[in-house]
Amino acid sequence: MVVVTTTGYFVTVLGPYLADSKNNDAAILKHMFNTNVEDIKEWVQDNDIFVVDRGFRDSLELLDDLGIKAQMPSFFIERPKQMTTDEANASRLVTKVRWVVESANARIKRWKYLSHVLPNKQVPYIGDYVCIVCGISNKYLPPLSPGCDNEEVLAAKMLHLSKNVNTLKQRVEEENFERRKTIWKEPDNNLDDFPRLDEEDLRNITCGVYQMKLSTSYIQEHLEGNCQILVHQEDEHLIRVKLQSRHVSSKSYILWIEYTSAEITAWYCKCRAGARVVVMAKSMKYPIIRKAQVLVACYFCKEQAIKWRCEDCNIRMCNTCKVTVHQGLTSAQDNVVVSIQDISMLSLFSQEVTPIVISSVCYSYTTTLPAVHTLPSSDDDLLYISYFCFSSKDRFVKGKLLQSSIKILLRIKKNIFDIAINKDGEILFNEYGDNKINFLSPAGEVNTVLDTSPMRPLAIHVNKDNEEIIGLQEQGPPFPVQDFSTRQVIILSSDYQRKVGIRQKGRLNDDNNARIVTVDRNGHFKFMHDGPKDYETFNPQGITITPSDTIVVADSSNDSLHVLNSKGELLCLQSLHKDLGIEYPKCVFIDREGFLLIGCANGRNEAYGKIHVVKMKDSLM
């Protein structure tokens, strides 16, 4: 028997013991303390915690008498079919710590001599061999668990989740889902809206890597064996899954998964530990899980109203978890915690802000539209201009900028809300009131790329990798933003297959100001910009990125351009109206020659919008 610390360090090695009914785990532990082997009572202190498995249950009374707390996975006394949610959660907390014991034993068995059955004549020496191997492991192998600050944060998250109830289990039982008629189908073509989870998402759900490592062999068994995974759609966002147990080939389990297009919201399995909510049940590792959609939410409780970020832990949290969870972490006592709003404001004063963005105005054109809301340019120098105002006068214009005028090549009456052009020359657009993303080919054919129902598309962008980025919101008016409001950003590959999704529900702040929020592809918050502190309003209407990753923002309310670097720091802020006579900027775009195109609404005492071709300072390009 070995005793290890939570880092995998071998404290002592005892034995070998005769393998019979009298020498079980509990009996050996009792013998250790009753005979005070190696003065074990001297180095065990009051309130120490022994993490043991179920084989030690007969020694718990002795440990309690010695003032030692023992933690052990739950076990059945009257053989019920399933643990309660509290029992399953508590068991997971124990196994999360006790995996170090199993991994330490695995280190011993890596030695070829000790990984095989030994002859009886070697029995007198086995104990010495194991001691030598454990000493070498302590000296030369790294700790199994380094004890970093992130582990304490993860532990706090698991403890917080362990107090939750399994609401889906309650729903399944109250509504008698198990007795309902089922129509089992193969999952391949029936779960288009199921969230796509990458490895990081799965690790966040499972709170570790143990189940991730199990999933490889488990999936292989299903793919190579005669195993079926069947799915029944209970309702729009709830499925029932039937799959084989990974322990018993003749046994199958039923589980329910509740989800949205962006996240898995609840789970419940009929297996023994399937009611827990600390992590997903093992039975849920199955091969239909695909690439990720990430929820921007509190790290601990998954609520949406994130207010704070710990700079040292690199996690976001709500007000409640900041006080009740994060402040109680020993490793976080000296950490820097800043509000989401402060992240934006700090960036404004990190360096000097210059008042010049534009070095010269090259050309100005007057259009035949009241405003220019979009103006992407293709590689052949064609402009695609749209104007939108909820009326029958909406226009889509294809044209070319000449030296003194705009040559109109095509006019279309459509309620186009946004437009973008990919590297194949296909024009992507969405119409107001329609939940579809369409593309117009160079030959003039219109095809649907994506139906975003029930979400409504708001914005379209094509990045330098030819990926389509779509902004979505729930049906209804976009403002004011309510606590239940939902915003999504999805990324499509060049063949229009969904790759990544990022979801934000509710508010980032309590005020109603417009703002620019930046997240990475995993949904992690980077920075926020909502204008200088002395601005009464901030109304970003257009945004573009220069080849050097400088961010240019058109602020229509203040007739200004804001220029940020990739860290969110404000580099330049220029008043267009005061300096250059440019009013109401609605959109900006960098053409292939590096000129900045600014589309504007009709100015004071003017009937039509304008397009200005300007040159930015070289240092910003």
Q: Would you place residue 614 in the very low, low, confident or very high pLDDT band (cuts 50, 70, 90)?
A: very high
The domain made up of 382-475+484-615 is a member of CATH 2.120.10.30: yes
In angstroms, the CA 266 to CA 280 distance is 9
Residue type, 434: D
DSSP 8-state secondary structure symbol assigned to residue 573:
E
> What would the pLDDT profile of 574-598 be if each residue is shown by its tens digit?
999 999 999 999 999 998 888 999 9
In angstroms, the CA 439 to CA 139 distance is 63
Q: What are the helix and strand counts (H, E) for the chain?
A: 12, 33
pLDDT at 484: 56
**Do the beta carbons of residue 417 and residue 431 sit within 8 Å?**
yes
Over residues 14-25, the mean pLDDT reads: 83
The answer to whether the peptide bond before residue 454 is cis (omega within 30 degrees of 0) is yes
> What would the pLDDT profile of 79-107 be if each residue is shown by its tens digit?
667 888 888 888 888 888 888 888 899 99
Report the Cα 38 to chain-centroid distance in Å: 49
pLDDT at 391: 60
Q: Determine how many CB atoms are found less than 10 A away from the CB of residue 241.
A: 21
What residue segments make up the domains of the chain, in order of their start?
2-161, 165-293, 382-475+484-615
In sign, the C-alpha dihedral spanning 327, 333, 339, 340 is: negative
- pLDDT over 60 (residue 542): yes
- pLDDT over 90 (residue 416): no
Residue 104, helix vs strand vs coil: helix
Q: How many CA atoms lie within 13 A of 500 on its CB side?
A: 17
Highest mean pLDDT among 27-31, 300-304, 516-520: 27-31
In angstroms, the CA 254 to CA 288 distance is 16
In angstroms, the CA 268 to CA 183 distance is 19
pLDDT at 465: 86
pTM for this predicted structure: 0.53
pLDDT at 138: 93
CA distances in angstroms from 606 to 357, 576, 588, 600, listed in the order given: 25, 17, 20, 11
pLDDT at 512: 54
Q: What percent of the chain has pLDDT over 90?
A: 16
pLDDT at 256: 92
- pLDDT over 90 (residue 188): no
Measuring CA to CA, which residue among 620, 179, 178 is closest to residue 356? 620
In angstroms, the CA 502 to CA 487 distance is 8
- pLDDT over 60 (residue 505): no
- pLDDT over 80 (residue 502): no
Measuring CA to CA, which residue among 529, 521, 456 is closest to residue 486? 456
Q: Would you place residue 215 in the very low, low, confident or very high pLDDT band (cuts 50, 70, 90)?
A: confident
- Sequence length of the chain is 621
pLDDT at 294: 40
Q: Would you place residue 282 in the very low, low, confident or very high pLDDT band (cuts 50, 70, 90)?
A: very low
